[in-house]
Structure 1
Amino acid sequence: MSSPLLTQVGALAQRSIMRTARQPASAIPPLIFPVALLLMNSGGLKASTELPGFPTDSFFAFALAVPFIQGALFSTMNAGTDLARDIQTGFFSRLSLTPVRGSALLAGQITGIVVLGIVQAVFYISVGLLLGVRFASGPAGIALLLVYAALVAVGFGALGSFLALRTGSGESIQGLFPVLFVFLFISSMNTPRDLIAVPWFHFLASINPVSYLIECVRSLIITGWDARALALGFSIAFVLAIVALIAASWALSRRMERT
């Protein structure tokens, strides 16, 4: 008789978390690299705060939103690479011969990514507080930010799982990572959209969903309870999660048919 679904999900989620924790090359970059980039940008772009209409006098506080989304992009790569490795090593094929359900495999993988995403969010928040950032939305905003980080991790984790199930290659996932990273650089990560003077860049940043994901986090840090920014950010994150989960479930069913 097969194990209960929750037991299967828990075991696979634990495996996902422990595998990442045991690989410094997977666990450390999502924590260190976004913060290092944040510190460099804060030093080089602090003069931006003197622009008329800039929302804060601290560029560090303004840019603190970026690591949350940048870390989520790392989640895409980690989730995809780990699952692709399971496919390449034959673990996935062996698992398909056991009573483990396909839904448990996907849910366990993504649950592990969500836990790591929350750990990342706690780390970024702690760095911000240690360096003097005061969240305009208060403790309730920080709690909501953790919920938001979990939702974003679901979306990007499911996206990584979909890419892995379709390609079956860790190298392909790593090759796609720079493409995803481009969306970050053509967003409002360094300048508020209403202050972007270059028309083509303003247009791309305005149609780029990553801008609204960042601005949702930013509103909790420097603005407070901005209903429009929160609604747009949560809506985009929710749609991303649903679409990516559906795509990953479809890719999983196709992959299991072949195995």
Structure 2
Amino acid sequence: MTSDLARRALLRTLRQPANVVPVIFFPMLLVAINSAGLDAASELPGFPADSYLDFIIAVPFIQGGLFAMLNAGTDLATDIESGFLRRLALTPVRGTSLLLGQVAGVVALSLVAAVVYLTVGFIAGVTVAAGPAGVVALLVFAVAIGLMFSSIGAFVGLRSGSPQTVQGFFPLFFVLLFLSSANLPRDLMEQDWFATVAGLNPVSYLIEGIRSLVVTGWDPAALWPAIAILVVGTLVGGAAAAHAMRTNLVRT
């Protein structure tokens, strides 16, 4: 049943270009714009990468996760509005199966998007300092990020039951990306307040963990904080989404 629901979630997403195009093409468009406009930053003393493209290629992974959050939350909220969840409550299907199926379908799209990011990056000249194993690790990160953000989106969708509410939350999370070390290393930020905010922002550590595989190789100091945030975020988001799912099934 979980696999059927995952297939349904994936096919429903693929049938809606508005859900697929932003996940794959919007992050790459921003990378192209930023790498062209901020390439001079790579000449700053102490900049960690020879190429700004190598530095910024980590950002699409987070953007893809944010779109996964939007898709998962919106689809579940739509299921509540359409009565699909109410009909499922009359069947033997468990709430966890429905939740896992929805999240799995969205995460699968995150993996496909990550392959596109890396393929385009390689064509443009990106090199992964961690080697082939690092490429695999980047794909694992993409899946983990998609899982964490989609669980958060699932919670918002189930708790609100409104696609509009989920869409309203999306810009709030997107702001976290711009208030992070996405475009410049924290130690090179001239504004102290911005560096402080970026240092408190969990998104900075996710980006820096992914970036370390591309720029420096296997750096435990950058990888472990990112892994810890993913584990904690997924557990908290998953538990909250599971509780919201049980509540909705009881109400129906």
- TM tier, smaller: over 0.9
SS state of the match for residue 125, structure 1? Answer: helix
Name the CA distance, whole Å, in 1 between partners of 2:233 and 2:139: 17
Kindly provide the amino acid, as one letter, of the partner of residue 184 in structure 1.
Answer: L
2:62 maps to what in 1?
69
Q: What does residue 167 of structure 2 align with?
A: 174
Residue of structure 1 in register with 2:111 after alignment: 118
TM-score by length of 1: 0.96
Specify the alignment match of 1:30 in structure 2: 23
Alpha-carbon distance in 1 for matches of 2:47, 2:196: 19
Count of aligned pairs between the two proteins: 252
Cα distance in 2, alignment partners of residues 65 and 147 from structure 1: 13
Instruction: Report deviation, 1:193.
Output: 0.8
Cα offset, 1:117, TM superposition: 1.1
Aligned to 1:197: 190
Give the aligned CA root-mean-square deviation in angstroms.
Answer: 0.7
Provide the secondary structure at the position in 2 that maps to 1:52.
coil
Q: Distance in 2 between matches of 1:118 and 1:234?
A: 17
Structure 1 position 151, deviation (Å)? 1.2
- 1:223 to partner: Cα distance: 0.8
Question: What is aligned with 1:188?
Answer: 181
Counterpart residue number, 1:54: 47
Deviating beyond 2 angstroms after TM superposition, the runs of 4 or more aligned structure 1 residues are: none
Give, in angstroms, the shift of residue 147 of structure 1. Answer: 1.1
SS at match of 1:225: coil
CA–CA separation in structure 2 for the residues paired with 1:152 and 1:37: 19
Q: How many Å separate the matches in 2 of 1:254 and 1:83?
A: 14
The runs of 5 or more residues in structure 1 that have no matched partner are 1-7
> Which moves more between the two structures, 249-258 or 209-218?
249-258
Amino acid at match of 2:97: A
Deviations 1:162-196 (A, max 9, x none): 00011000011111110010000000000001111
Give 1:134 deviation, angstroms.
1.0
Q: Deviations over 1:70-101 (max 9, x none)?
A: 11000000101111111101111001111111
1:99 and 2:85 matched: no
Counterpart in 2 of 1:3? none
Deviation at 1:120, TM superposition (A): 1.0
Alignment pair present for 1:258 and 2:251: yes
Deviations 1:108-150 (A, max 9, x none): 0111112111111111111111111111001000101111111
TM norm structure 2 = 0.99
Match of 1:15 in 2: 8
1:143 aligns with 2:136: yes
